[in-house]
Structure 1
Amino acid sequence: MIKSPYDQYRKSSVQTSSPGQLLIMLYDGAIRFVRTALDGLGTKDYEKVSLNLGKAQTIVSELSVTLDQSSDIAANLNALYEYINYLLIDANTKKKPEPAEEALGYLKELKETWVQASKMVSSSEPGVVHG
């Protein structure tokens, strides 16, 4: 089966990304799905809402499952991921944008935190030239 160049690029970018970059990609996906669901709420396209909030929940659950339980912040992050999933479920069942908007805010804030952390880690790696 022939894959599109975009599919090949996506697969390649996932396979060659650092753990930090993969984490940011997951946040990007969850953010995109919540935004799409919010668009669906605006147009009363509830199938779109359900599908996209479900995809966002799957990503948030994956983020939770893959936490390094030996780290000090894992319990706090896990609780936040659980709350985000609660908000996504609430938005989906009640078809209200407010819980999804709150979840979106947390996801955007977490993504930005990881972007900054990733920059700090990559700038401290010896022998790496940054442009």
Structure 2
Amino acid sequence: MLQNAAQTYQTNQVTTATPSELTLMLYNGAIKFLKQAKSSLEERNYAKAHEFCLKVQNILYELMSSLKKEYPISYEFDKMYDYMLRRTVEANMRKDVEILSEVENLFTQFRDTWKEAMVLVKNQG
């Protein structure tokens, strides 16, 4: 019952979020899954680590597909997301915690910058 309530809350959060809030949720989700993948690798639970890496990859695919190509900055984001995707795949194949840490650091930088941008936009409005 408690799990159903949590799922309902999470579904409501996603369906009522603005596009910028959804992007922030994706960044936070990727960071969470990267931490879980690293922990799973350290525990030698390779199947779980693989699952978490796939979740990160799916988030990156979603971020890449949501880019608006009419903005030149989108191409720079696309390059970074593609790099992060390739590194996540590599980390998954090599079972490499350090590569996952690199990708996590990039996601953290994206997330923190995104949060700052959201505050600036909110304060202007």
TM-score, normalised relative to structure 1: 0.91
Taking only the aligned residue pairs, the percentage that are identical comes to 28
Corresponding pairs, count: 123
Report deviation, 1:12: 1.0
Q: Which residues of 2 match residues 1-131 of structure 1 at below 5 A?
A: 4-125=4-125
Aligned to 1:128: none
What is the rounded CA distance, in whole Å, between the counterparts of 1:108 and 1:121 in structure 2? 20
What is the rounded CA distance, in whole Å, between the counterparts of 1:8 and 1:95 in structure 2? 34
Q: Which amino acid letter does the alignment assign opposite residue 15 of structure 1?
A: T
Q: Which has more helix, going by share of residues?
A: 2
Q: Which amino acid letter does the alignment assign opposite residue 4 of structure 2?
A: S
Which 5+ residue runs of structure 1 have no aligned equivalent? 126-131
Which 5+ residue runs of structure 2 have no aligned equivalent? none
What is the rounded CA distance, in whole Å, between the counterparts of 1:118 and 1:68 in structure 2? 18
Report deviation, 1:123: 1.3
Deviations 1:70-113 (A, max 9, x none): 11211110000000001101110011111111100000100111
| 4+ residue segments displaced more than 4 Å | none
What is the rounded CA distance, in whole Å, between the counterparts of 2:22 and 2:100 in structure 1? 23
Q: Which amino acid letter does the alignment assign opposite residue 82 of structure 2?
A: E
For residue 70 of structure 2, give the secondary structure of its aligned residue in structure 1: coil
Report deviation, 1:67: 0.2
TM-score, normalised relative to structure 2: 0.95
RMSD of aligned alpha carbons? 1.0
